C-alpha cells in the first residue's frame, strides 16, 4: 500500500463509520486532492462532506474550527505547509487556544493535514517546513508521518481524538510503499524504533528518516559500529522515554532534520539531551539540518540546502571518527 493510500483508507474508514466527519480543502473533492489523498471520497460521501473550498487558507482552518464547535469532526487539508502561514492566526489563536481560554468548555475535535517540505524544485514559497513553529504552540498535538503503517493508524487516531491535531505529511512520501498491520494497536505518541543498534542513536522524522535509513549501512561499514534509528512520529509531545533508553544504551546522539538549522525542530531534542542526558553521552551530539537559506529552485542548489543520504554518511562518519567511535 502507498503512503497516500494508507491516508485515504484511514479517512475513508472513519468517514464511513461516523457521519460527523467531513474533509475540506482546496481541490479535495472533484479533483481528488492535490496529492490524491482524498481520491474517491466525494463519490462516496458527497460534496457536503468532502468540501471543495476557495483558495483561502485562513477560512479553511477557521471554518474547520467553527465546524468543530458546531459538532462536526473536520479534517482540513492545506495544499502545502507554505500556504499555512495565511492560516496561522486560526491555527494558533483559535485552534490551539479556545479550549484553554474557555477553561475546557470548547472542545475542538479537528485535524489539519499539513503536507510540507522540500520536494522537487518547487521554489522558496512551496518548500518550507514549519514543525518547529507548530510544536512550539501549547494546545496543539503535532504528529509527523514517515511510515505507511503509522500514516494509517495515526490519521485514524487524529480524527477520532477530541483534541486539535496538526498532521504533518511530506510531499515526497506520498508514493512510498509499505505494509499496514491493521490488527496492530498503535500509540501515535510513541516514537518508532526503525532499526535497533547499540553504538549511535540517530533521531529523525518525516522524509529525513528515509535518507537516514539509506545512509546507515554505509555509516556502519565505515565506522564499524551499529546505529539505532528512531522515528519521532509525535513532535509534540515528544516520547523522551524511548529516546532516553536508546541514548543510555548507545551514549551517542545524532539528530537529522530537514528544516533550517537556526531555531529548527531538532534543537529541542538536543537541548533536552544537554539538560537531561549530559552524563550519559560520550561525545557532543551532532545535529544535521537544512541550511539557513530560502529553498532555491535550481536542483543542485536545492539538494545542497538539506541533508542527503551522502551528506548524512559524510557528516556522521567524520563526527564518529573525531570522537573515536
Which 50-79 residues touch other proteins, going by CB under 8 A?
51, 53-54, 56, 58-59, 61-72, 74
Q: Select from 16, 17, 18, 101 the one that contacts other proteins (CB under 8 A).
A: 101
Helix ranges (H only) for 23-166 are 41-45, 57-69, 88, 98-101, 131-134, 148-160
Q: Does 226 bind other proteins (CB under 8 A)?
A: no
Spatial distance between the Cα atoms of 137 and 112, rounded to a whole number of angstroms: 14
User: Residue 97 and residue 121: Cα distance in Å, rounded?
Assistant: 36
Q: Which of 17, 18, 102, 276 binds other proteins (CB under 8 A)?
A: 102
Task: Indicate the residue among 137 and 203 with the shorter CB distance to other proteins.
Answer: 137
139 contacts other proteins (rule: CB under 8 A)? yes
DSSP helix/strand/coil, 302 = helix
Is 183 a binding residue for other proteins by CB under 8 A? The answer is no
Least Cβ distance, residue 289 to other proteins (angstroms): 27
Grid coordinates in use for 279? 552524563
Q: What is the spatial distance between Cα 232 and Cα 185, in angstroms, rounded to a whole number?
A: 17
Question: In the complex, what is the shortest distance from the CB of residue 129 to other proteins, in angstroms, rounded to a whole number?
Answer: 23
Residue 81 interacts with other proteins (CB under 8 A): yes or no: no
Residue 94 makes contact with other proteins by CB under 8 A: yes
| CB within 8 Å of 198: residues ≥ 6 apart | 225, 226, 228, 249, 250
Residue among 152 and 205 whose Cβ is closer to other proteins: 152
- Judged by CB under 8 A, the number of residues near other proteins is 54
We find the least distance from the C-beta atom of residue 104 to other proteins, in angstroms, to be 4
Q: How many CB atoms lie within 10 A of CB 54?
A: 8
Q: What is the DSSP letter of 24?
A: E
Cα angle vertex 169, ends 165, 174, to 5°? 140
**Is there binding between residue 17 and other proteins (CB under 8 A)?**
no
Closest CB to other proteins among 237 and 263?
A: 237
- Check residue 188 for interaction with other proteins (CB under 8 A): yes
Q: What are the residues facing 236 on neighbouring strands? A: 142
Name which of 94 and 260 has its Cβ closer to other proteins: 94
Please choose, from the candidates 161, 80, 78, the residue with its C-alpha nearest in 3D space to the C-alpha of residue 112.
78
Closest contact distance (angstroms) between CB of 225 and other proteins is: 33
Q: Is 57 a catalytic residue?
A: yes
User: Min. distance of Cβ 54 from other proteins in angstroms?
Assistant: 6
Q: Which of 26, 77, 94, 126 is catalytic?
A: 126
Out of 5, 26, 57, 258, pick the active-site residue: 57
Distance CA 127, CA 119 (A): 6
Per CB under 8 A, 156 contacts other proteins:
yes
Q: Which of 139, 152, 243 is nearest to 191 (CA)?
A: 243
Rg (CA), the chain: 20
Q: Any contact of residue 100 with other proteins (CB under 8 A)?
A: yes
- Report the C-alpha gap between 313 and 295 in whole angstroms: 22
Residue ranges in contact with other proteins by CB under 8 A: 22, 48-49, 51, 53-54, 56, 58-59, 61-72, 74, 89-90, 93-94, 98-107, 138-139, 141, 152-154, 156-157, 160-163, 185-189, 237
Amino acid at each position: 500500500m502507498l503512503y497516500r493510500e494508507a491516508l485515504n483508507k484511514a479517512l475513508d474508514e472513519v468517514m464511513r463509520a461516523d457521519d460527523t466527519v467531513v474533509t475540506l480543502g482546496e481541490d479535495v473533492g472533484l479533483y481528488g486532492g492535490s496529492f490524491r489523498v482524498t481520491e474517491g471520497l466525494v463519490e462516496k460521501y458527497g460534496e457536503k462532506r468532502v468540501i471543495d473550498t476557495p483558495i483561502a487558507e485562513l477560512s479553511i482552518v477557521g471554518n474547520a474550527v467553527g465546524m468543530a464547535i458546531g459538532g462536526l469532526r473536520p479534517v482540513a487539508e492545506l495544499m502545502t505547509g507554505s500556504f499555512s502561514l495565511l492560516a496561522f492566526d486560526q491555527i494558533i489563536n483559535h485552534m490551539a487556544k479556545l479550549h484553554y481560554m474557555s477553561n475546557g468548555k470548547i472542545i475542538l475535535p479537528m485535524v489539519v493535514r499539513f503536507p510540507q517540505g522540500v520536494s522537487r524544485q518547487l521554489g522558496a514559497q512551496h518548500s518550507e517546513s514549519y514543525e518547529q513553529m507548530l510544536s512550539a504552540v501549547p494546545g496543539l498535538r503535532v504528529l509527523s508521518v514517515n511510515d505507511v503503517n503509522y500514516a494509517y493508524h495515526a490519521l485514524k487516531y487524529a480524527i477520532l481524538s477530541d483534541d486539535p491535531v496538526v498532521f504533518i505529511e511530506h510531499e515526497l512520501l506520498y508514493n512510498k510503499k509499505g505494509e499496514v498491520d491493521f490488527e496492530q494497536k498503535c500509540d501515535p505518541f510513541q516514537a518508532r524504533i526503525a532499526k535497533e543498534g547499540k553504538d549511535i542513536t540517530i533521531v529523525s522524522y518525516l522524509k529525513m528518516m528515509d535518507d537516514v535509513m539509506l545512509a546507515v549501512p554505509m555509516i556502519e561499514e565505515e565506522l564499524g559500529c551499529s546505529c539505532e534509528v528512531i522515528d519521532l512520529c509525535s513532535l509534540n509531545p515528544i516520547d523522551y522515554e524511548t529516546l532516553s533508553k536508546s541514548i543510555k544504551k548507545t551514549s551517542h546522539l545524532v539528530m537529522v532534520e530537514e528544516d533550517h538549522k537556526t531555531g529548527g525542530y531538532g534543537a529541542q531534542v538536543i537541548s533536552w539531551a544537554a539538560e537531561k542526558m549530559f552524563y550519559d553521552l560520550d561525545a557532543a551530539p551532532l545535529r544535521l539540518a537544512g541550511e539557513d537559506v530560502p529553498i532555491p529552485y535550481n536542483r543542485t542548489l536545492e539538494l545542497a540546502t538539506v541533508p542527503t543520504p551522502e551528506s548524512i554518511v559524510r557528516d556522521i562518519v567524520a563526527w564518529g571518527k573525531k570522537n573515536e567511535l
